[in-house]
A and B are shown apart, each in its own frame.
Chain A
Amino acid sequence: MTLDAVVTRGHPTFEQRAPAALADSQLRHNLRNATGTIRRRRAAAVGEMPDWQALREAGRAIKERTLRHLDHYLLQLEAAVERADGQVHWARDGDEANAIVVDIVRRHGETAVVKSKSITSEETGLDAALSAAGITATETDLAELIVQLAHDTPSHILVPAIHFNRAQIRELFIRELGVPGLSDRPADLAEAARVYLRRKFLETRIGITGANFAVAETGTVCVVESEGNGRMVATLPDVLITLAGIEKVLPTWRDLEVFLQLLPRSSTAERMNPYNSFWTGVTEGDGPREFHLVLLDNGRTDVLRDEVGRQALRCIRCSACLNVCPVYSRVGGHAYDSVYPGPIGAILTPQLRGLAQAGSLPWASSLCGACYEVCPVMINIPEALVHLRGRVVREGQDARGLRGRLDPENVAMQAVALAFGDARRFEAAQRLLLRGAGPVTRAGAAPGGRGPLAAWTTLRDLPDLPGQTFRDWWRENR
């Protein structure tokens, strides 16, 4: 049993969940098309920009400045929102955030809310909390609506229903929206959703949104979207609640000029997404009469504490890394068992949730670095992955004492390190491998054999072993 398997005892590991996903041909097909398409388009959208690298540098730096002085900016944001007659609430964890929202809804005597896209609300499990409190929450983002109606969970940050094809959606809508005779043409599916949701928008008095950015200087909240449901939720209801992780804050209004260029091209591969909404507190005669901003920690301060890991908080949720990841594009989001899948999920989830729960995720990567290349805020994901692997191993070794030291993987690694620590020991180990390896190799590779060799030889041959090592050749011939 390896260290990381022990560390994540009780929670299925990535490598346990991956095989089923890999065998799902519908999923593989959908993912391949989707990620391939967005990859190409993103490359084109970015290729148009001669100052793309400069924008990335600015994006990285603005986020660094913000994170290093996060308390300052959070306080500034709070003051600005309150000056504009908004109310600010703080939540230490997801449960507390949910309770705040439920409380606001209850105080208004309402039992229904409309929601626009908010991964943060999925993180806290807000829908379940609302439901438990007898409050109906209608998801108004088309993909989230699909996922909600299917009683499923999202599998991609940006396109949560990427694992559904049009036929599946058609069946779902016929069943859940009561629209018999619906075709599977995307335009007709979208129309069905529009009609259903418009009624909800016009009837419901409380709206809940997420936030892409929150400007400290002016108190402005920004939502970036395509469908218009964000505009609906932010404008029509009497009461607006916005749930935002504390890492969403930006220092100044001017800083938006960088992110409004980085985000659309990185996420939907557009020069600009259809709608961006910016509002500050309450504006008389225009929109909601009451505004609540809920600031959420829920593990973000744990991420912040890790000097290498904290770069994960720069993330602007574009999902470019998901689309270029050779692992994600084959396995999909569910194998990560988190609302944050893919490369960013592999470094964010373990830090938010704790290494004990999500310790297998840092190993769900071949460290190819394609994610780092496309990240608009230059998060060095491979570096963070390796760093987290180190934390998992060290914490496992230190926490588990003798049992940790006797773990087979640990024993093997210590032995190899010992061999590598001295040239003569190294050469002895080499000779042992080349001369004595035959039976060992064959045994390890035999059907029913366990361990690394068996894993290797399921679909790959081993190379032929050479007659002598390089250094022995050098000794004899030079």
Chain B
Amino acid sequence: MRVALFITCFNDTLFPQTGRAVVQVLERLGHQVDFPFEQTCCGQMHFNTGYQREAIPLARRFVRVFADAEAVVAPSASCVAMVRHFYPMLARLSGDERLAADIEALRPRVFELSEFLVRRLGVEDVGAYYPHRVTYHPTCHSLRMLEVGDAPLRLLRQVRGIDLVELESAEECCGFGGTFAVKNADTSLAMLADKLRRVIDTGAEVCTAGDNSCLMQIGGALSRERAGVRTVHLAEILASTEEDARR
């Protein structure tokens, strides 16, 4: 099928390798990937920080850009949650019924990567090879808002060569929370400290997740601690093949 990639402003700017990985995986599975250049941002940062009036034009833009897509896929549960769960609230705030209708029409076609692969395409083995010890952190948006369930773990389990190890109290928030990480930095760090300890205790070489925002939080601390553990987005693991291992 034809998939429109919603890269997210965050990944587009800071983690382009995640976007490349999504393209690789989808094309490997035989699908065509479009990238609408008009896309910018879903508006989540503004919305969550209380600047909701400012997020309305961004929602309008998003809906316009992706209106005709058969499916929209993003490597970010938080952005997908913004569209599926909070765009209706923005529409109500705007009082624009046309926008509300357009949002309703688009919502069912917007997916986070792991739920797209497992639930929409029915695929768990994407032909990946990643010979590393990996632990998975379920992000709050993917777990509680999108309810992706065990889709990411199903995908990871099919990765050849992987040594998957369970993360203790995995469901606990890493402390990022968008601007929370800086506005309430002390509390964010207290939460991060526990997540960090649990990641390190797994003995994993790599910590993965479906959101680079969480990985930036966790990875930032792992790096500061010189823990020798790196963070890699789920898409990049799924894109990885024997060829990559040989390089």
Task: Determine whether A and B are in direct contact in the complex, meaning some CB atoms lie less than 8 angstroms apart.
Answer: yes
A365 engages B221 (CB within 8 Å): no
B16 lies within 8 A of chain A by Cβ:
yes
B61 lies within 8 A of chain A by Cβ:
yes
B3 lies within 8 A of chain A by Cβ:
no
B173 engages A463 (CB within 8 Å): no
Task: Give the chain B neighbours of A330 by CB distance below 8 A.
Answer: 187, 190-191
Residue of B nearest to A307 (CB): B92
Task: Give the chain A neighbours of B223 by CB distance below 8 A.
Answer: 460-461
Partner of B35, one of A459, A463, A474: A474
Q: A414-B54, A456-B181, A461-B220 are in contact. Are A430 and B47 (CB under 8 A)?
A: no
B186 lies within 8 A of chain A by Cβ:
yes
Contact size class for B?
Answer: 35 or more
Task: Give the chain A neighbours of B57 by CB distance below 8 A.
Answer: 417, 421
Task: Give the chain A neighbours of B183 by CB distance below 8 A.
Answer: 2, 15, 363, 455
Task: Give the chain B neighbours of A387 by CB distance below 8 A.
Answer: 89
Interface majority SS (helix, strand, loop, mixed), chain B: helix
B38 engages A393 (CB within 8 Å): no
Task: Give the chain A neighbours of B241 by CB distance below 8 A.
Answer: none
Q: A469-B16, A471-B12, A473-B20 are in contact. Are A366 and B173 (CB under 8 A)?
A: yes
B16 engages A470 (CB within 8 Å): yes
B178 engages A430 (CB within 8 Å): no
Could you tell me which residues of chain A, from 401 to 433, have a CB within 8 Å of some CB in chain B?
Answer: 413-414, 416-417, 419-423, 426, 430, 433
B145 lies within 8 A of chain A by Cβ:
yes
B46 lies within 8 A of chain A by Cβ:
yes
Partner of A394, one of B9, B12, B37, B53: B53
B39 engages A22 (CB within 8 Å): no
Residue of A nearest to B7 (CB): A470
Residue of A nearest to B16 (CB): A470
A367 engages B184 (CB within 8 Å): no
Closest CB in chain B relative to A399 CB, distance in Å = 14
B191 engages A393 (CB within 8 Å): no
Contact with A along B40-62 (1 / 0, CB 8 A): 11010111111111110110010
Q: A426-B9, A430-B13 are in contact. Are A390 and B224 (CB under 8 A)?
A: no
A368 engages B144 (CB within 8 Å): yes
B12 engages A469 (CB within 8 Å): yes
A413 engages B177 (CB within 8 Å): no
Partner of A373, one of B47, B86, B144: B144
Q: A326-B175, A423-B40 are in contact. Are A413 and B145 (CB under 8 A)?
A: no
Task: Give the chain A neighbours of B86 by CB distance below 8 A.
Answer: 383, 386
A465 lies within 8 A of chain B by Cβ:
yes
B210 lies within 8 A of chain A by Cβ:
no
A370 lies within 8 A of chain B by Cβ:
yes
A249 lies within 8 A of chain B by Cβ:
no
A460 engages B220 (CB within 8 Å): yes
A470 engages B19 (CB within 8 Å): yes
A455 engages B185 (CB within 8 Å): yes
B176 engages A366 (CB within 8 Å): yes
Q: A363-B183, A413-B46 are in contact. Are A426 and B53 (CB under 8 A)?
A: no
Most buried by A among B13, B16, B93, B221: B13
Q: A463 CA to B181 CA in the complex, in Å?
A: 15
Q: A259 CA to B127 CA in the complex, in Å?
A: 51
Most buried by B among A364, A369, A373, A434: A369
B216 lies within 8 A of chain A by Cβ:
yes
A460 engages B50 (CB within 8 Å): no
Q: A99 CA to B220 CA in the complex, in Å?
A: 55
Task: Give the chain B neighbours of A468 by CB distance below 8 A.
Answer: 16
Partner of A421, one of B58, B140, B177, B181: B58
Task: Give the chain A neighbours of B145 by CB distance below 8 A.
Answer: 369
Q: A326-B173, A389-B50 are in contact. Are A421 and B180 (CB under 8 A)?
A: no
B208 lies within 8 A of chain A by Cβ:
no
A466 lies within 8 A of chain B by Cβ:
yes
A433 engages B52 (CB within 8 Å): no
Q: A368 CA to B81 CA in the complex, in Å?
A: 12
Task: Give the chain A neighbours of B43 by CB distance below 8 A.
Answer: 420
Q: A330-B190, A366-B188 are in contact. Are A460 and B52 (CB under 8 A)?
A: no
Contact with A along B179-211 (1 / 0, CB 8 A): 111111111111110000000000000000000
Q: A308 CA to B93 CA in the complex, in Å?
A: 11
Q: A420-B41, A463-B219, A474-B35 are in contact. Are A430 and B51 (CB under 8 A)?
A: no
A18 engages B15 (CB within 8 Å): no
Could you tell me which residues of chain B, from 69 to 102, have a CB within 8 Å of some CB in chain A?
Answer: 86, 89, 93
Task: Give the chain B neighbours of A436 by CB distance below 8 A.
Answer: none
Closest CB in chain B relative to A245 CB, distance in Å = 27
Closest CB in chain A relative to B26 CB, distance in Å = 13
B14 lies within 8 A of chain A by Cβ:
yes
A386 engages B47 (CB within 8 Å): yes
Q: A195 CA to B192 CA in the complex, in Å?
A: 46
Task: Give the chain A neighbours of B177 by CB distance below 8 A.
Answer: 365-368
B13 engages A469 (CB within 8 Å): yes
Partner of A460, one of B13, B19, B192: B192
Q: A469 CA to B192 CA in the complex, in Å?
A: 28
CB<8 Å pairs between A and B, sample of 19: A4-B50, A14-B184, A15-B187, A18-B187, A308-B89, A327-B184, A366-B188, A390-B50, A390-B51, A392-B50, A417-B55, A420-B40, A421-B58, A421-B61, A460-B192, A460-B224, A466-B14, A470-B19, A471-B7
